[in-house]
A and B are shown apart, each in its own frame.
Chain A
Amino acid sequence: MSDAVIRPARVALVGNPNTGKTALFNALTGSRQKVANYAGVTVERKEGTVTTAAGRTLSVLDLPGTYSLRARSPDEAVTRDAVLGRLAGEEEPDVVVAVADATNLRLVLRLILELKAVGRPMVLALNMYDIAQRQGLRIDLEGLQQELGCPIVTTVATRKRGIEELTAKVDELVASGALSTDNTWHEPSAAEIRGAHREAQRILKAYVRPPERPDTFTAKVDAVLLHPLAGLLILGAVMFLVFQAVFSWAGPPADAIEAGVAWLGAEVGRLIPGDLLRSLVVDGLFAGVGSVLVFLPQILVLFFFIILLEDFGYMARAAFLMDRIMGVTGLHGRAFIPLFSSFACAIPGIMSARVIDQKRDRMTTILVAPLMTCSARIPVYTLIIGAFIPDRTVGPGFNLQGLVMFGLFASGVVSALVVSFVIRKVFWRGAVEPFLMELPTYKLPSAESVARNVLQRAQIFLSRAGRIILPLMVLVWVLSTFPSAPAGATGPAIDYSFAGMIGHAIQPLFAPIGFNWQMVVALIPGFAAREVAVAALGTVYAVGDAEANATALGVTLAHSWSLATGLSFLAWYIFAPQCVATLGVVKRETNSWGWTAVMFGYMVTLAYLASFAVYHAAVALGAG
C-alpha cells in the first residue's frame, strides 16, 4: 500500500435475524455509529465506521435481518434494495459481509446463494463460532470457502474476536480490486427455493459435521417458558415486574427532572426582564422541554427491559404465548409488548412497535396503543372519581371507586381490541397475514449492547420526538397566554386568552355531552398532556395549586358539575387524544401526518360518542 490516500469502502452487513449481526456491527464500529432513518421510510438506518489495519476507512451499514432477498416487509425491502444498489439516496456497497450463526447454517446458506447471484464481492462471517466449537460442530472452512467462492472469517462478536481478521479480509478484497460480477438475481420461485434448499443441504452434508453436543439449554428453558400454563403465568409475572419497575424506578427520576427543569426555568426566568418573555421562557420553553424530558426515565426503564428480554430471546416466546389472544382482533403476538408498554406510556409503546415486521400490524398497533390507560390519565381519573364516586364497599373486598377505576382500564383494553378489529376490516380488508417466526436460542445478553441500544432509543426519542413535541407545547402556551387578561379582570387569565375564546366558541359543540365552558377551556391546555388538565381545571376554577390541592378542587367540581357531567368527562378521557407528545411520536413513527390525523380523528370521535352516550344515559337515570 504505497498510495498516499487509501480509498474508503462501503460494507453492508447482511444476515438472518438472530445471528448476532448487530453485535458484530457494534464490535466493528464501537461508538462510531449513528442511527437515522432511510429516506422516506421508517426503517432504522445504522451506519458506523471502522479503520482497517491497512488504514482504510470502512463505512459499515447494518442492514435489517432477512431470510431472503425476496422482501416481505419494509425492513427487508431496504436490505434487498441496499444490496442491489437500488436504494434511493444510498450508494451501492463495495463488499457484502454475510453474517451467519455458525450453529445454524442451513437457512443462511440459502441466503448466501442468493447473495452470490447478486455478484458483489462477499466475505462470510461465521459468528458465534465459540458456541459451535463448544457444541463440537465441525466446519471444513477450507472446503466451504472453495465451494462458496468467498473468504470465510470466524468471529465471536460478543467477545470482539475475529474482528481484525474480518476487516483485513474486506480490505484485501477492496485492495485486490474485486469488482461486482453480473447481477443474475431475480425473485426466486417456489421451485427455485426448493432447489436452493437442496443445494444448501448438499453443501452442509459435504462440509459440516453435526454437533456432538447439541444445545439442550434452550429446549429445557422452553419446556418451562412455553408450557401452556406455567408459560402464561411466568409471562404475567415478568410483565408485572416490568410494570412495577417502570413505575417505581422511573417515578423518582421523573419527579426530579420535572422539579429540576421547573427550578432551572424559574432561575433563568429571574434573569429575564419583561413578563411576556419570561413567561415564554418559563411556561413555554422550559415547561415544553420538561414535558419531553419527563418521559425519559420511563422510556429508559421500559426499553431496558424490552431490549434485555429481546436479546435473551424471550420476546419471541412472549409473542408465541400471546399470539392466539391477540389473534382474536387480527393482530399478531408481536403486538403484545407495544400494547402492554402503553399502560405505562403510549410513547415507548408506539416506539417499540418497530419489532412488528408487517407494516399493517405495526400501523394497527400504533393506532390503538394510546387507548391503553397510560399513567398520565391516572391523576385525572383519581380527581374525578374522588369527586363523584362515593367511597363505599360493594360486596366483599370491592370498593366502588376501585371498581370504577378498573372499569376505566378495562374499557381502554376492550376498545383497543375492538378498534384494531375494525381497523383491520376497514383499512386492510380482513386479511390476516401468515405468522411465521423463528424462536431463537436463548443467549446471555451483553451489558454493553443492551446499554448501547437503550441509549440509542433515548437519543431517538429526544432528538426526533422532541423536535415535534417542543413546538407543539409552545403553541399550546401561546394559545393559553394570549391575549393577556385586561387590567382589573376578575376571572382567571386563561379565560381571556385564545384558549378561553376557543373554549367559549366551541362550547356549544360540547353541550350535548354535558361539558360546561370551564371544562372545554381546560381541555385546551390539557392537550399538552393529560395530567395538565387537572392543573388547568384548577386554574379556571381558581383553586390554587390544584395538583397539591386535589381534594379542594374535587369538592369544587362536585358542587359545580352534575354526576352525569363527571361521568361524561371520565368517558372522554378514556378515548380523547389529549397528548401532544403521543401525536408527535405517531407522526415520527408512521412518517405520515395522514395516519396521525386518522388517529386523532377516530379518538376524538370515539371520545365524543362515548361521552354523549354516558351523559345521556346518566341523565335518563336521574343523575343530571
Chain B
Amino acid sequence: MHDLAAEARAQADEALAGSTRLSVARPGDRGVIVEVRADHAREHGVDVHELERRLLEFGFVEGARFELLHEGAIWKDPIAVRLDDMRIALRRRDAEDVWVRLDTAAR
C-alpha cells in the first residue's frame, strides 16, 4: 500500500536536511528559519499549536533571518535572538520547534 502520509513526511524531512533546531544554536550563529513546526511531545503548558502560533506572532516565521545574540548564564538558557529588526528572548525548550539553516560561514 502506498503511504501518502509517510511520503509527505519524507519530503518534509528532505527539505529540512541540513537544518537544525534553534534550541541548539550558539551565540554568533546566524541563518534563516526554514520551518516552525510544533510537533514534538514535550509538555509546554499550552497545546503545541498554540505554541506554534505564539512563535509565529513574535516573528518566528519561515524565511526570517535570525542571529543568536545572547544566552543566559545558567544552563545557557534562555536565549536572545535577533529577528530582522527585533530582539526576542525565549527559552531553549520553546525554541526546539523552530528549525533553522545556519549560514555556513558562521560556523
Binding site for B on A (CB under 8 A): 67-68, 70, 72, 103-104, 106-107, 110, 188-190, 193-194, 197, 201, 214, 218-219, 222, 226-229, 231-232, 316, 319-321, 323-325, 327, 333, 430-440
Contact A436 B56 (CB under 8 A): no
Contact B59 A231 (CB under 8 A): no
CB distance from A224 to the nearest CB of B (A): 11
Q: Is B34 an interface residue (CB 8 A)?
A: no
Q: Is B105 an interface residue (CB 8 A)?
A: no
Distance, CA A232 to CA B45, complexed state (A) = 28
CB distance from A104 to the nearest CB of B (A): 5
CB distance from B96 to the nearest CB of A (A): 11
CB distance from A567 to the nearest CB of B (A): 35
Distance, CA A321 to CA B45, complexed state (A) = 22
Chain A residues within an 8 Å CB radius of B72: 228, 320-321, 323-324
Q: Name the interface residues of B55-107: CB closer than 8 Å to any CB of A.
A: 55-59, 61-63, 69-75, 77-78, 80, 84-91, 94
Q: Known pairs A106-B86, A226-B69, A434-B44. 14 more at Cβ < 8 A?
A: A103-B85, A104-B85, A188-B53, A193-B53, A214-B85, A218-B87, A228-B73, A229-B73, A316-B89, A323-B72, A436-B54, A436-B89, A438-B86, A439-B87
Contact B91 A434 (CB under 8 A): yes
> Which residue of chain A has its CB nearest to the CB of B56?
A193
> Which residue of chain B has its CB nearest to the CB of A188?
B53
Binding site for A on B (CB under 8 A): 43-46, 49, 51-59, 61-63, 69-75, 77-78, 80, 84-91, 94
Distance, CA A433 to CA B51, complexed state (A) = 9
Chain B residues within an 8 Å CB radius of A214: 85
- Given contacts A104-B85, A320-B78, whether A327 and B91 have CB atoms under 8 Å apart is yes
Chain A residues within an 8 Å CB radius of B73: 228-229, 231-232, 321, 324
Of A110, A189, A320, which is in contact with the most chain B CB atoms at under 10 Å from its CB?
A320
Distance, CA A327 to CA B76, complexed state (A) = 13
Chain B residues within an 8 Å CB radius of A323: 72, 77-78, 89, 91
Contact A438 B56 (CB under 8 A): no
Contact A439 B78 (CB under 8 A): no
Chain B residues within an 8 Å CB radius of A68: 57
CB distance from A134 to the nearest CB of B (A): 15
Chain B residues within an 8 Å CB radius of A327: 77, 91
Chain B residues within an 8 Å CB radius of A440: 87
Contact A194 B61 (CB under 8 A): yes
- Given contacts A103-B85, A431-B45, whether A325 and B74 have CB atoms under 8 Å apart is yes
Contact A435 B69 (CB under 8 A): no
CB distance from B78 to the nearest CB of A (A): 5
Would you give 25 A-B contacts (Cβ < 8 Å), ordered by A?
Answer: A106-B84, A193-B61, A194-B56, A197-B61, A219-B69, A222-B69, A222-B87, A228-B70, A229-B73, A320-B80, A320-B89, A323-B91, A324-B73, A324-B74, A430-B43, A431-B45, A432-B45, A434-B44, A434-B91, A434-B94, A435-B90, A435-B94, A437-B88, A438-B58, A439-B87
